[in-house]
Amino acid sequence: MTLQRMELKATLLEPLAIRANRQSTRSEGLTRIPGSTILGALASAYLQWGGHPRDREFQILFQDESHCRWGALRTGIYQPPATSASCKRFPGLSISQQAAPGGIFPAPGSSTTEPHGLHDLLVAELRAVKSPDFTSAALLCQKCGEPLQPYRSPLAISGTENNSPKFSRRPDPPLRTRHHVGIDRNSGTAAEGILFAEETLDCWLKTDSPDPRAYEAACLTGVMEISEPALEALKKLLDLLDSRIEVGSSRSRGLGRLSLDLGRTFPATTDRRLDDFSAALTARIPDTARIFTLAFPEGAIFVDDLLRFTNDPAAAIPWLPCLPRDFGANSFENGITALHGNAGLRRIRGWQAAHGLPKNDDLAIEPGSLFAYEVTGEEWPKVKRKLLDLTSRGAGLRRNEGFGRVQLSDPFHLEFAFPRSSGDDPPATASARKHPPSKPRRKKKKKRRKRR
Ligand SMILES: [Zn+2]
């Protein structure tokens, strides 16, 4: 079954309280809505309107991973890969990298606060793997010489230019802390010594307009994968609900109402795009045959044969080679070599409203985790077929909550590649010579993560 990728947009009508943890008295708030929260809110609304869990519509929308997979909603639809980095002092898209409308612009005359630009270090990482004498002194901001740091904030896509998306950065709606007292069950009044604090996401956002009173409704967007019959069922359900649903906690206190709408459809990855990406990347990295990358924009949950959590996609995708445990070692399987992996693990907590019980804690790789592999020329056609099949299926566990969505050979790596081309490595600055490159430290960090 082919699923199409669609944009899902939530316009906040009320502030939103989504807890990062299960503690009710003191819990941090999230600035995104997890896929499982949207799924749960819609499923509960479906049942409230007289639906039954055995209905075919309910099954394909909320229970069948091969028909519908929900994604998390964030301030931007695009999650930059783990190799993206930006200046330590002035992070973010530079003005020349931004799409014209919708981005954050510095006030006229304040060029000192202009972000120094976004870069992608995949090319530099792969060149370091292929030729060990490649110096990473080049991994410094070209405008101020400060080190580059990982950049993880989601970006908005404001349009396309020459078939590649143009990005902009929307500000996150502010998080505010609200307090409320506990209620004594016997007297119905405030209970002594019980005070709850919760972080809520504001539903209004200051715009870039010079008018100090200009605000707009906060909007969160994400990607969902859906089949034709499930899309029909979803449209029917949203019509019935007038697109209004309630998510998160404290819904009885006037929080959590939002309007949910379907947006544009995204084109599927093609055979041709894999070829173009591989050709462009191998031209810049010596001695490589074909290259593809796997990114997991929503994160993914992988378990090995003994049900231990791991950050190696080979646990869920049997035809991939395992990532090498020691730096310098190569693992080769089915004509594929693992070149690079960048994936930290984080704990996923949740509450199962239908059972009234906490969900099991899972360890997922972080959104944007990235893996790069090299393939021999003879195996390439076979591997391409497997890759296209993988994008339509996803990988790992809890796929209907968005985990395990695959982004293949993302053109972002080429468009934001740093250094821009093999010949223009910037000279090492004085500070770079004083603090020699961080290559060994970076490798150590990665190894530690793997062992965990
Ligand atoms: Zn800089």
Domain contains 92: no
- Residues 337, 250 within the same domain: no
> What separation in Å is there between the alpha carbon of 87 and the centre of ligand 1?
4
Whole domain around residue 254: which residue ranges? Answer: 4-77+200-266
Report how far ligand 1's centroid is from the alpha carbon of 422 (Å): 21
Q: Please give the distance, rounded to the nearest whole angstrom, from the Cα atom of residue 195 to the centre of ligand 1.
A: 44
180: in domain: no
Domain assignment present for residue 280? The answer is yes
H or E stretch covering 264: strand 257-266
Q: Length of the chain in residues, anyone?
A: 452
Q: How far is the CA of 324 from the centre of ligand 1 (A)?
A: 33
Same domain as 365, residue 262? no
Q: Are residues 205 and 327 in the same domain?
A: no
Tell whether 308 and 217 lie within a shared domain: no
364 with 344, same domain: the answer is yes
Domain membership flag for residue 129: no
Q: Kindly give the distance from the C-alpha atom of residue 445 to the centroid of ligand 1, in angstroms, as a whole number.
A: 24
Question: Could you list the mean pLDDT of each consecutive 10-residue stretch along the chain, which spans 452 residues?
Answer: 90 90 74 91 92 92 92 92 91 79 46 81 87 68 86 87 79 85 89 87 82 86 94 94 90 90 90 92 88 94 93 92 73 84 90 84 94 92 93 91 92 85 43 40 50 50
Is the alpha carbon torsion for 149, 152, 156, 162 positive or negative?
positive
What distance in angstroms lies between residue 431's CA and the mean position of ligand 1's atoms?
A: 13
Q: How far is the CA of 358 from the centre of ligand 1 (A)?
A: 44
Distance between first and last Cα of the chain: 36
Instruction: Identify whether 168 is part of a domain.
Output: no
- State the distance from the centre of ligand 1 to the C-alpha of 437, rounded, in angstroms: 17
Relative orientation angle of helices 271-282 and 122-130, to the nearest 10 degrees: 60
CA–CA dist 401, 298 (Å, integer): 9
> What stretch of H or E contains 259?
strand 257-266
342 strand-pairing partners = 370
The per-residue pLDDT for 109 is 42
For ligand 1, the distance from its centroid to the CA atom of residue 93, given in whole angstroms, is 11
Which residues have a beta carbon within 5 Å of ligand 1, which is an ion? 87, 116, 141, 143-144, 146
In a domain, 184, yes or no: no
* Residue 391 belongs to domain with CATH number: 3.30.70
The number of folded domains in the chain is 2
Write out the two tokens for 98.
């931004």
Q: Measured in angstroms, how far is the CA atom of residue 145 from the centroid of ligand 1?
A: 6
Cα of 341 from ligand 1 centre, angstroms: 26
- Statement to judge: residues 278 and 403 lie in one domain: yes
pLDDT of residue 44: 92
362 in a structural domain? yes
Ligand 1 center to 78 CA (angstroms): 23
326 shares a domain with 413: yes
